[in-house]
Amino acid sequence: MSSVLVFGASGQLGQCLARVAQERNMSGLVFLPEEQANILNPEGLAKLFAQHQPAYAINCAAYTAVDKAEDELELARRINRDGVENLARLCGEHGTVLIQISTDFVFAGTGNQPLTETDEATPISTYGLTKLEGEQAIAPHTDKYFTLRTSWLYSEFAGNFVKTMLKLGRERDELRIIWDQVGTPTYAIDLAGAILSIIESRSQAYGLYHYSNEGLTSWYDFATAIFELSGTPVRTVPIRTAEYPTKATRPAFSVMDKTKAKTQLGLAIPHWRESLKVCLERLAAAE
């Protein structure tokens, strides 16, 4: 197959893409960590596109430090908006399909119904704002793109909520976890599989999509499931968001409707709890 460039390959999703591509025996993926391919360096990117003439470019590079972003707006904007625009421009010039990863944080999260791609995006954090600006930076340069909004990513790789909970659960007798923020955990291996399935299908149903695992839960219930399924004996106490103040405001309800991804892209999406079991089994096997 023609080459697929993966930007931000050393991060969580990049590592999951490498794992799933290996499992599927997919060739042609070129994994580019930041030191080899900085999305803020247009000249360097142009050389990579000229060298590889990629059919697809997957952008896993992002500024994701949600609280820190409140003090680093310009840096977050450069990475999450300007970097995306750099890629979109080159994708347009080379006829490359861009696959961009976005977030549920583009929503205010004030409702109680699953959010669709046509619902208004009104971010309430710097991180969410810059990711939305990244989404909007694509269309002026190319119409061959898939933007996938996802939520609550975790996996065996990098730092994430599941691994943090397992660590804290071993160290403490009791943990206080927020119960009034509701969303959907997403196993990054599943997201990686969805991305590669889009590529394998050669779909031309370009546009904006929501992708997370099925179901919904609170951070409290997610943590409780992690401890239950892993056999970690720790007491959990539900607390309100107001009892755990953070610099950035999080959406209270950011469950996304995946109907479009399932119908137009043909994606089968597992329930979050089933995927959590798989991840925990893999983490246990690696110990």
Has 127 been annotated as catalytic?
yes
What is the spatial distance between Cα 172 and Cα 153, in angstroms, rounded to a whole number?
24
Non-local CB neighbours of 126 within 8 Å, separated by 6+ positions: 69, 70, 72, 73, 76, 248
In angstroms, the Cα distances linking 222 to 185, 200, 206, 225, 275 are 8, 32, 32, 5, 12
In this structure, what token pair is assigned to residue 128?
A: 């969410």
Distance of CA 156 to the CA centre of its chain: 14
What is the spatial distance between Cα 88 and Cα 78, in angstroms, rounded to a whole number?
14
Residue 196: strand, helix, or coil: helix
Q: In this structure, are strands 182-183 and 217-218 parallel, antiparallel, or unpaired? A: antiparallel
What is the spatial distance between Cα 147 and Cα 131, in angstroms, rounded to a whole number?
11
Name the active-site residue from 56, 63, 127, 187: 127
What is the spatial distance between Cα 81 and Cα 24, in angstroms, rounded to a whole number?
32
Residues with active-site annotation: 127
